[in-house]
Structure 1
Amino acid sequence: MTSAKDRLAHLLHLPDKRSAQPTKEQKRAYIQELSQSPLSFKINVFFEAIKSIFLYGISIGLICMALAAGIGAGYFAALMKSEPIPSYQVLKQQLDNTDQAAGLYFAKNNKFGAIKTDLIRTPININEMSPYLKDAIVATEDEDFYKHDGVVPKALLRAVISDVTGFGSQTGGSTLTQQLIKMQVLTSQVTFKRKATEVLLALRVDKYFTKKEILQDYLNVATLGRNNKGQNIAGVQEAALGLFGKNAKDLSLAEAAYIAGLPQSPSVYTPYDQDGTLKDPEYLKYGLDRKNTVLFRMYRDDRITKAEYKAAKKVDLTKEFQPKADPAETTKSYGYVYNLLETQATDIMAKQLAKEANVSTAKLNKDPNLYKQYETQATELLSTKGYQIHSTIDQEIYDAMQGVVHQQGATFGRTYTDTVTDEETGLQKTVSSPVQNGSVLLDNRTGKVISFVGGRDFSLKQTNYMLTKRSPGSTIKPLLVYGPAIDQKLIGSKTMLADFKTNFKDYAPTDYGGTIQNKFIPADEALAQSLNIPTVNLYNALKNTTDPSKYMSKMGINLTADEYSQLGISLGGTSDGVSVLEQASAFSTFADQGEHTDAYVIEKITDPAGNAVYQHHAKKKRVFSKATSYIMNQMLAGVLTDGTATSIYDQLYFNTNNLVGKTGTSNDNRDIWFIGSTPGITLASWMGYDSTGRNLTDNSSQINERYWSKLANSVYQINPSLMRLEDDHEKPSTVTSSKVLKLTGQLPGTVSINGSSQNLNGSTVTSLYNNWTPKATSYEFGIGGSARNYETFWNHYLGYNNGYGSITYSTADELNPTSGYSSRRSGTAATTTNNYTANTTGTAATTGTTTGTNYTANTNPTDTETTN
């Protein structure tokens, strides 16, 4: 017979192998018997129940902990699955690397310098360090350094729980090994993946290297505040020299303890300000107190005796700190290249860091403060992680081009002397203002910048004129007007364009010198001679056919809708201008059969082990059809054979059969351009003064063409294969050739003139079209021109001597008879806006002071293109 206790245990499902499942009647009997049991029995049953619940709780807790550990391990494994496991050699190279500033390289792996940083370090062997230093660092930063395997397990568990639950800090306490990994290998981003990678690498480092080796590397790279020259220092040798004027091996106990206390907060504990002066006593006390904390920990760990501890605490280190000194001056070689690579590498890394944080490039570009945040991180990376920046610049060609600009610079024009205010001192000083030059050499197919000229003299002016925005002058004509017009089947190479006196409301363009040709001119001749009125007429018609801006944006030139709405844009009248690099890159599109590849100067960025953290990948965009590009190359060749750049041919050492180009000149010779392309390369040159109020001379185009020729010759002499001179422009099957009348640019036909039908025949020329054929000649056969202009043409055709084709000059009063203002250039056209004279005789007349490197320009100019 069972007791009430046994029956109750069975009822409550307590472990009892003797019991069987009770029936309902048994349960009622058990409960009745229980109600009659003594109090002590009821208490025993209560505690039995609590015990069971507690055991169940422990079991569930253990299961949950195991599950959490499994999830954490799985999460860790998932993160590390794609993480490459570095070899011993790779890790050794990274940990031993004390040249932490990013190295700068020309093409072909030719190193020329490193990113400037005031962080200096001098690595030494651990045997050259005071034993006090080693003991102080271990006692302060990682007391279990000689016991653990690179990480402390509880720190890893804490990081997992923190990341999964969202509570607590993700960083946790790091060992010396982890700190070394953080300084030498990883970024400072606080993410769980970075922490997990840090743990993985710390374990591997502890496996590969001895504790002595790890400690040596740490003591050589740890950042330790500033020295008495105001420079940021790293490594104990520089700290010993910069703070106490002695080598690390000669440090006293108190000095070693002071240095060992610096890594926790270098900016707070360092004794020096940014200029190298000693801090005020109230701020020095933080570092001195930290020194005493280090001494106590050394004493606590039995690394020093009590007597040594007390004696070192009494040492007055303020008497031992070095007095302020001036840092040695350093010179920067290849200044233009250095600045270009530093700027672009920082931008690349900032965008990569933002992308890793799921911040889009578009958002980054819209928020200057956000961009500044990632730019700062990128600067830190490039200054501290030993990256290598590999550029596309060919050192030999670059040196040759610098030699040409130095040799020819004196021929560019007059050098002025200006008085300016020194930004640092606020005092007046005199500076030279010579004619400046920006040039660039591009590979047409890849977009790589092979070489460039940033300016006349980096020591005189650090502005890179390859990147400054200036009026593009007539170099914009083939890109914005003629190329799109051919591509849209608006014209063929011999389509007639009107060159008569015209006035588009308040805009009245003329050709160079205020001239008007008073005739219809073939498109290829208008481009070769860089005539303005035909170009404006064509742009006016083109805008009614398509949006020309879409072509420009595909080639990397982005102007405003307001700029494109102005007819003067067809002659280069922009608000801010276009850089030499942008213009050359766009121009190279024709040489690459209508495809555009963005220009670039950084090939790749690698870590100290040679792994690419960034690799440039060229992307091509179809801008013009192959037929359009072929026709444009034929037309641009005419610029050199019969147009504004004929002087170039006699100055070149190489085969010019496949050379094409375009000149450009803005108002009053303020900007002078020549861009030339072979099938392999595009070379662009711009000349002008910094001051928007100064102009070049009328023969500056010839000066620039002579200079461009010398640049091209220097490139050819070093590497002729770059130019691909023997690669003919292959004629696509979509190019249509038609014999058109030389007079009308259309096929022979019948035209009614003054009521009489005329059968038109006569001399013909070959005109090229983008996969279409022209129609028979009609009365209004050209683009632009009024009814009166056509009447003049046809009467001249019938034999009347009516002045057709006679060049005339337009004056300001003729174009604007009520203006009451004279033009800036005698015999040229001018328009008046808001009671001031706006020059319309050239592209992009500057009307104000400069802001940075952008120039305000007239949006409705008349280009002052020279005709040789």
Structure 2
Amino acid sequence: MPRIEVRDRTGALIAVHGRDKGAPVDPATLPPHVIQAFLATEDRNFYDHVGVNPVAVLRALLVNTRAGGVAQGGSTITQQLVKNALLTSDRTLKRKAQEVILALKIERAYDKDEILGFYLNTVYFGSGAYGLEAASRRYFDHAPTELTVGEAAMLAGLLKAPSRYAPTRAPDAARNRAGVVLAAMVDAGYLTASQAERIEAEGIASVVPRDDSNAYGADAAVAEARRVLGGIGRNVVVTTTLDAAAGRGVAQSVEDVLGADPRVDPAVEAAVLLAEEDGAIRVMIGGRDYARSTFNRATLARRQPGSVFKPFVYLAGLESGLRPESIVDDSPIRIGTYAPDNYKDRYYGEVSLTEAMARSLNAAAVRVQEEAGRSRVVSVARRAGLSGASDTGPALALGVIEATPVEILQSYATLSTGGVPSEPYLVTRIATPDGRVLYEHRPPPPGLPVFAERDMVALGHMLQAVVHSGSGVRAAVPGHLAAGKTGTGQDSRDAWFAGYASGLVGVVWLGRDDFGPMEGPKGAVTGAGAPAVLWSQAMRIGLEGRPARDPVPYAPEPDEKSLFEHLAALLTRRSPDDDQIADLIQEIRAQPAP
């Protein structure tokens, strides 16, 4: 399997896929206790035998003959080197004989230190780490020359069963096994009993916690690299658009925000994306715990977007001639058997489109959709980047379709740019370890807007109102003019916030993998709660050091209604008796002008 290094936009290493083979280590440069830990457990007579241990070989031969196969090993370090580097893992008497013959030949061709170096540089230590240097860096974040006695004992203990004893997966088992190695070092005379006891009392070794903050993004980048190259069959270095530091900050914010909200239980998962308007993804969080689940919800989870879809409904309304100040009725509505409810069954009568968007009023959104036409709504959504949008009936206005968070990101990037679509991407460059470039991302020529500028300015004004005074007030980003939309799926199965500020686009999704409702004794999770708060924190991290973008001002169209028409509308909204209102309007109109 080839080694695939994944690096962020600055060149910092964020992940290694495949064989993480470390740099060669010269045993002569290692502290004595490192060598002693391996010799004590693997081959105490290494410097005295000729490649095989005759006593151990005879003992194993007797056991294996009785068993009718290989039941016992008795391998020296040289034999293990042969097995790991030259032979298959078949457990047969023939292969064992080949192992002995090759071990004897290697002993005649190389000195002991060279053989030990070959062994330490090729043996597998678990977690994808091959060789002492890779294992030392992987588990303790320093060079093998800096290994303590406890750390050396823990690494030596891994060789018996690297996956079972890997300290990142089974820390207790790794410590217990390291204790066996320390006991072997005492028995071999390398340590005193009191020294071993002190090391065990101090915890033996502290493993550096695995940083999986950018693991989901690294996985997606490798998948993208495979697509653009048509497969990866050699060692490569993949440079990405990711910002590792921002990824770490956002990952911490996920736990801080969700942990502080009593409505969010541990079964609730999360996805967070930050990207530039051209599609360059800076942060990709695909779940709360990569070690527990590598499923990347940011790219793979198909969920209902809920009210995050409403901007495309209102954009369709703008295209059909409505403006942000146009009035829409927010009273209960029924279309056939479909009768959507507003949040907490609150209705606001006649409201402007801007207020309907800010309050996320369902009845008003359905009316705008039916006036503009569902085919236009589907067309708008598809042009923005939601290629899977389709006419699902009147419930389409409330986001009853399926989309992944990265698809929502793409569609909101189109809104941020003023209507110019872009494709999300992660890979900027793929090269061989010696620098030969295999692929380099080249930005496509500037595209044409798919929406009219006046409609984009109007929609931006409406989405800014969501954050300034509507359901998204918790998503405000100090120093930047944010625009966005909250979204809550049916029965709180999904909760979203999507939006943009100063050229950065962000999406937050919360939900359960089993599609269960996020409701409990403390209340339901909605887009206006934890998703909006988390979006605000993520955007602050992503926008750090970036100047605010000046907003494009929105100018309402001239009001050409007469005083009588305004008075009639005002009275219509406030009076419960339509007949009395009509009579009053006629009386006013019949009066002579002053």
Range of TM-score over shorter length? 0.5 to 0.7
Establish whether residue 607 from structure 1 lines up as the match of residue 484 from structure 2.
Answer: no
Unaligned runs of 5+ in 1: 1-98, 126-241, 263-269, 274-278, 296-302, 304-323, 354-376, 417-432, 741-746, 750-757, 766-778, 780-788, 802-868
Paired residues of 1:413 and 1:434 also in contact (CA < 8 A): no
**1:659 aligns to what?**
482
Residues 605-643 of structure 1 show CA distances to partners (whole Å, capped at 9, x for unaligned) of: 112232331222334543322222111111111112332
**2:365 aligns to what?**
535
**2:279 aligns to what?**
447
Flag the 1:415–1:502 CA change in 2: closer, same or farther, 3 A. Answer: closer
> 1:101, CA displacement in angstroms?
1.0
Provide the C-alpha distance between the structure 2 equivalents of 1:415 and 1:663, rounded to a whole number of angstroms: 17
Establish whether residue 113 from structure 1 lines up as the match of residue 20 from structure 2.
Answer: no
Provide the C-alpha distance between the structure 1 equivalents of 2:580 and 2:355, rounded to a whole number of angstroms: 21
Flag the 1:500–1:284 CA change in 2: closer, same or farther, 3 A. Answer: same
SS in structure 1 at match of 2:479: coil
Paired residues of 2:221 and 2:240 also in contact (CA < 8 A): no
**1:760 aligns to what?**
565
Which of 275, 287, 294 lines up with 1:462 in the alignment? 294
Which of 414, 423, 429 lines up with 1:598 in the alignment? 423
Establish whether residue 405 from structure 1 lines up as the match of residue 222 from structure 2.
Answer: no
> 1:351, CA displacement in angstroms?
4.5
SS in structure 2 at match of 1:631: helix
Superposition pairs of residues 508-523 of structure 1, within 5 angstroms: 508-517=339-348, 519-523=349-353
Paired residues of 2:214 and 2:283 also in contact (CA < 8 A): no
> 1:475, CA displacement in angstroms?
0.7
Provide the C-alpha distance between the structure 2 equivalents of 1:497 and 1:451, rounded to a whole number of angstroms: 38
Superposition pairs of residues 70-109 of structure 1, within 5 angstroms: 101-109=3-11
Provide the C-alpha distance between the structure 1 equivalents of 2:540 and 2:296, rounded to a whole number of angstroms: 23
Which of 503, 507, 510 lines up with 1:680 in the alignment? 503
Flag the 1:500–1:799 CA change in 2: closer, same or farther, 3 A. Answer: farther
Provide the C-alpha distance between the structure 1 equivalents of 2:536 and 2:508, rounded to a whole number of angstroms: 10
Paired residues of 2:315 and 2:459 also in contact (CA < 8 A): yes
Paired residues of 1:470 and 1:579 also in contact (CA < 8 A): yes
SS in structure 1 at match of 2:314: helix
Establish whether residue 713 from structure 1 lines up as the match of residue 550 from structure 2.
Answer: no
Paired residues of 2:341 and 2:363 also in contact (CA < 8 A): yes
SS in structure 1 at match of 2:284: strand
Provide the C-alpha distance between the structure 1 equivalents of 2:395 and 2:84, rounded to a whole number of angstroms: 67
Paired residues of 2:255 and 2:288 also in contact (CA < 8 A): yes
**2:126 aligns to what?**
none
- The residue type paired with residue 107 of structure 1 is R
Flag the 1:110–1:798 CA change in 2: closer, same or farther, 3 A. Answer: same
Paired residues of 1:106 and 1:392 also in contact (CA < 8 A): yes
Paired residues of 1:414 and 1:435 also in contact (CA < 8 A): no
Paired residues of 1:393 and 1:451 also in contact (CA < 8 A): yes
User: Percent sequence identity over matched residues?
Assistant: 18
Establish whether residue 553 from structure 1 lines up as the match of residue 382 from structure 2.
Answer: yes
Superposition pairs of residues 353-502 of structure 1, within 5 angstroms: 353=230, 377-378=231-232, 380-381=233-234, 385=235, 387-413=236-262, 433-444=266-277, 446-467=278-299, 468-479=301-312, 481-486=313-318, 488-502=319-333
Paired residues of 1:336 and 1:454 also in contact (CA < 8 A): no
**1:586 aligns to what?**
411
Residues 167-211 of structure 1 show CA distances to partners (whole Å, capped at 9, x for unaligned) of: xxxxxxxxxxxxxxxxxxxxxxxxxxxxxxxxxxxxxxxxxxxxx
**1:644 aligns to what?**
471
Provide the C-alpha distance between the structure 2 equivalents of 1:715 and 1:694, rounded to a whole number of angstroms: 30
- The residue type paired with residue 524 of structure 1 is T
- The residue type paired with residue 680 of structure 1 is G
Flag the 1:334–1:598 CA change in 2: closer, same or farther, 3 A. Answer: farther
Residues 225-255 of structure 1 show CA distances to partners (whole Å, capped at 9, x for unaligned) of: xxxxxxxxxxxxxxxxx9852299xx9xxx7
> 1:121, CA displacement in angstroms?
7.5
Provide the C-alpha distance between the structure 2 equivalents of 1:567 and 1:708, rounded to a whole number of angstroms: 29
Paired residues of 1:748 and 1:761 also in contact (CA < 8 A): yes
Provide the C-alpha distance between the structure 2 equivalents of 1:259 and 1:492, rounded to a whole number of angstroms: 72
Establish whether residue 326 from structure 1 lines up as the match of residue 161 from structure 2.
Answer: yes
Establish whether residue 695 from structure 1 lines up as the match of residue 518 from structure 2.
Answer: yes
Paired residues of 2:242 and 2:283 also in contact (CA < 8 A): yes
**2:550 aligns to what?**
727
Establish whether residue 670 from structure 1 lines up as the match of residue 507 from structure 2.
Answer: no
**2:215 aligns to what?**
338
Residues 542-590 of structure 1 show CA distances to partners (whole Å, capped at 9, x for unaligned) of: 236x5433333333322264xx24221210112xx22222212211222
> 1:602, CA displacement in angstroms?
1.9
Provide the C-alpha distance between the structure 2 equivalents of 1:113 and 1:660, rounded to a whole number of angstroms: 34
Provide the C-alpha distance between the structure 2 equivalents of 1:647 and 1:272, rounded to a whole number of angstroms: 59
Residues 800-839 of structure 1 show CA distances to partners (whole Å, capped at 9, x for unaligned) of: 89xxxxxxxxxxxxxxxxxxxxxxxxxxxxxxxxxxxxxx
Which of 66, 72, 92 lines up with 1:280 in the alignment? 92
Provide the C-alpha distance between the structure 1 equivalents of 2:442 and 2:576, rounded to a whole number of angstroms: 57
> 1:663, CA displacement in angstroms?
0.9
> 1:532, CA displacement in angstroms?
0.9
- The residue type paired with residue 535 of structure 2 is W
> 1:474, CA displacement in angstroms?
0.4
Paired residues of 1:409 and 1:456 also in contact (CA < 8 A): no
Establish whether residue 504 from structure 1 lines up as the match of residue 329 from structure 2.
Answer: no
Residues 357-392 of structure 1 show CA distances to partners (whole Å, capped at 9, x for unaligned) of: xxxxxxxxxxxxxxxxxxxx43x43xxx2x111111
Unaligned runs of 5+ in 2: 27-73, 110-158, 169-208, 586-594
**2:561 aligns to what?**
748
Superposition pairs of residues 42-53 of structure 1, within 5 angstroms: none
Flag the 1:349–1:687 CA change in 2: closer, same or farther, 3 A. Answer: closer
Range moving further from structure 2, 547-556 or 633-642: 547-556
SS in structure 2 at match of 1:463: coil
Aligned residues: 438
- The residue type paired with residue 579 of structure 1 is T
SS in structure 2 at match of 1:510: coil
**1:93 aligns to what?**
none
Provide the C-alpha distance between the structure 1 equivalents of 2:269 and 2:225, rounded to a whole number of angstroms: 29
Flag the 1:522–1:531 CA change in 2: closer, same or farther, 3 A. Answer: same
Flag the 1:799–1:559 CA change in 2: closer, same or farther, 3 A. Answer: farther
Provide the C-alpha distance between the structure 1 equivalents of 2:281 and 2:294, rounded to a whole number of angstroms: 19
- The residue type paired with residue 541 of structure 1 is E
- The residue type paired with residue 456 of structure 1 is R
Residues 681-738 of structure 1 show CA distances to partners (whole Å, capped at 9, x for unaligned) of: 122222233332232324653333333333333344xx231xx41422266xxxx842
> 1:330, CA displacement in angstroms?
6.8
- The residue type paired with residue 338 of structure 1 is A
> 1:796, CA displacement in angstroms?
6.8
- The residue type paired with residue 6 of structure 2 is L
Normalised to the residue count of structure 1, the TM-score between the two structures is 0.45
Flag the 1:632–1:514 CA change in 2: closer, same or farther, 3 A. Answer: same
- The residue type paired with residue 316 of structure 2 is P
> 1:477, CA displacement in angstroms?
0.5
Flag the 1:565–1:543 CA change in 2: closer, same or farther, 3 A. Answer: farther
**2:457 aligns to what?**
630
